[in-house]
Amino acid sequence: MTTLALAARPGGRVGPLGMAGLVLLAALAALPWFSGAFVQHLAVLVCLNAVMVSGLALVARCGQLSLGHAAFVAIGAYASVLAARHWGLSFLPAMLLGALASALVALLLGWAILRLRGVYFVLVTFAFGELLRLALLDGAALTGGANGIAGIGAAQVFGFAFDTRERFYGLALAAALLSLWMLHALFRRPLGHAMDALADNPALAESTGLNVQRIQLLAFVAGCALAAAAGALQSRYIGYVSPESFNTSVSIGFIIMLVIGGRRSVWGPLVGAMVLTPLPELFRGAVQTQHIFYGAALIVILRFLPDGLASLPRRARQLWSRDAA
């Protein structure tokens, strides 16, 4: 039901973009049965990255780009792990607590900075991400400092342990589907149209009576909470967290995934995650080549597909209709 809702148009028909999304999801769902451990591992990371980038998509929908998105992933990861260790919380309550902690921090930060636009907003979120990373490094008594926290147990939901790669993949895929459904449900409602108006022309949107700050703050808080939930999932999958796992380069990676996938498309976070998540493994030992690929891909996408790879089915359909006419 959720998958069909993602693919359907408002009139109930499945469009070309929805069909392409269904094909992607079917391929992801079939991976555990037709692939080895390495591909399964990459598929888990794709799903987790899709959730994280979905959170960034909410922020970007209002016309802002955050260079501190990885910091909110870190808040969710550390808060959930520490809550489980010190308070004995099970996985779901600990994950919800991590999302709540991230939402609270985002509420306070957003209230202070969301009046900033463009490069000023980017610089402040960058500074926040670096400050949080340094705080995690300095708080060794609680966070383990540079050594991080190891030996994190597997996620358990209602007594069922996701302690194998295949089991955890089901949990990660469900989280990715849920995050995409949330984007779909939000973007097709009046609030989603209001966010588009803010991104296109904030002054004009405010002149029509929209509460710009409230809408931006809601999107920022929701996006950071979603990123935190993904951080909690990631910590249980990898079994380890450290400050260096959430540095600025990780946030830049999220932005690139979103731009390449399509920042205004429901499917953009998933497409971007599927394209870019395997690259570090493909370019292992050739980091400079990886950066060159990132730069070239961004130039090509921004020049020829400004709406990202997720817009390819729609663009192909438009070209086909034009040629047929």
pLDDT at 102 over 50: yes
Is 295 part of a structural domain of the chain? no
Is 161 part of a structural domain of the chain? yes
pLDDT digits 0-9 by tens, 120-129? 999 999 999 9
pLDDT at 241: 96
Is 207 part of a structural domain of the chain? yes
Is 91 part of a structural domain of the chain? yes
Q: Write out the two tokens for 69.
A: 């998105």
What value does the mean pLDDT take over residues 170-184? 92
Nearest alpha-carbon partner for 312 in 24, 65, 6? 24
Report which of residues 22 and 91 the model is more confident about: 91
pLDDT digits 0-9 by tens, 55-75? 999 999 988 889 999 999 999
Contact 88, 286 (CB under 8 A): no
C-alpha Rg value of the chain to the nearest Å:
20
Partners of residue 150 on adjacent β-strands: 240
Lowest mean pLDDT among 34-43, 167-176, 256-265: 34-43
Contact 105, 111 (CB under 8 A): no
Q: Write out the two tokens for 73.
A: 């992933």
| Location of structure tokens 């921004």 | 302
Contact 168, 162 (CB under 8 A): yes
Nearest alpha-carbon partner for 78 in 99, 64, 60? 99
Is 159 part of a structural domain of the chain? yes
For the chain, give the mean pLDDT.
86
Amino acid at 260: I
Is 285 part of a structural domain of the chain? no
pLDDT at 11: 43
pLDDT at 34 over 80: no
pLDDT at 1: 45
pLDDT digits 0-9 by tens, 218-266? 999 999 999 999 999 999 999 999 999 999 989 999 999 999 998 888 8
Q: Write out the two tokens for 247.
A: 């540095």
Percent of the chain at pLDDT > 90 equals: 49
Domain count, the chain: 1
Q: Name 167's Cβ contacts closer than 8 Å, sequence gap at least 6.
A: 160, 161
pLDDT at 322: 67
Three-state SS annotation for the chain: CHHHHHHECCCCCECHHHHHHHHHHHHHHHHHHHCCHHHHHHHHHHHHHHHHHHHHHHHHHCCCCCCCHHHHHHHHHHHHHHHHHHHCCCHHHHHHHHHHHHHHHHHHHHHHHCCCCCHHHHHHHHHHHHHHHHHHHHCHHHHCHHHCEECCCCEEECCEEECCHHHHHHHHHHHHHHHHHHHHHHHCCHHHHHHHHHHHCHHHHHHCCCCHHHHHHHHHHHHHHHHHHHHHHHHHHHCEECHHHHCHHHHHHHHHHHHHHCCCCCCHHHHHHHHHCCHHHHCCCCHHHHHHHHHHHHHHHHHHCCCCHHHHHHHHHHHHHHHHC
Is 284 part of a structural domain of the chain? no
Q: Using CA atoms, how far apart are residues 138 and 148, in angstroms rounded to an integer? A: 11
| Location of structure tokens 């949107």 | 205
Kindly indicate the confidence band of residue 89, based on its pLDDT and cuts at 50, 70 and 90.
Answer: very high
Total residue length of the chain = 325
Domain hosting 214: range is 2-6+40-246
